[in-house]
Chain A
Amino acid sequence: AQTVTQSQPEMSVQEAETVTLSCTYDTSESDYYLFWYKQPPSRQMILVIRQEAYKQQNATENRFSVNFQKAAKSFSLKISDSQLGDAAMYFCAYSIRRGANSKLTFGKGITLSVRP
């Protein structure tokens, strides 16, 4: 069974600084997807970034980038120039490549606070 582990329950960052959120996963599959979702206190789950396992290039989306280490089964999220609006719970999630078995498996999440 696939598992996703987020071992840091909480992190804090100063506004305008950079922070890295860690995630590891376990799977026997070779073709899969990884995601980071953000859930602000208003609770709407928002997609931040996604990574296809077959792509070696790390995904980037504006201030958000990932460090994908397939052999180590590690998938960390880097937030640059942190803003107050980045404060939220962040979830790492895994999905097998599209098909009849495409459920998302989530980690427990990490609460990120941003200090002004």
Chain B
Amino acid sequence: DAGVTQSPTHLIKTRGQQVTLRCSPKSGHDTVSWYQQALGQGPQFIFQYYEEEERQRGNFPDRFSGHQFPNYSSELNVNALLLGDSALYLCASSSETGTNQETQYFGPGTRLLVL
């Protein structure tokens, strides 16, 4: 049973550039959430996708956008990168049906460094 996977594991970009991070949910899951985790802090919710639509959004600017594909995988896009966007980006998946609907399972994350 494959868990949540994310790519790439590490990424270095410069200010002003754009980045795309990818996530494949755990088998059987249909909902994907994205979180930003600054060093030494707890994760902060960016947004959640279900049925290929953004269902809920946290307090992040429009530079952060996403997409969910028919196979439930998801992308996180960040435009006009700022130094403050440097963080670990976590993807979590969950299921709208079955047991443990409320439990989110996390991927290993993508470490983004903006220079």
Contact = CB atoms under 8 A, between A and B. Distances in A.
Contacts of B88: 43
Nearest to A106: B42
Contacts, number: 60
A43 B56 contact: no
Interface stretch (B11-19, B63-71, B75-83, B97-105): B97-105
B103 A103 contact: no
Contacts of A104: 33, 35, 43, 45, 92, 104
Interface of B: 33, 35, 40-45, 48, 55-56, 58, 88, 90, 92, 94, 96, 101-109
Top 5 A-B residue pairs of the complex, sorted by shortest distance between their CB atoms: A106-B42, A45-B106, A103-B45, A98-B101, A98-B102
Interface of A: 4, 33, 35, 37, 42-47, 50, 91, 93, 95, 97-98, 100-109
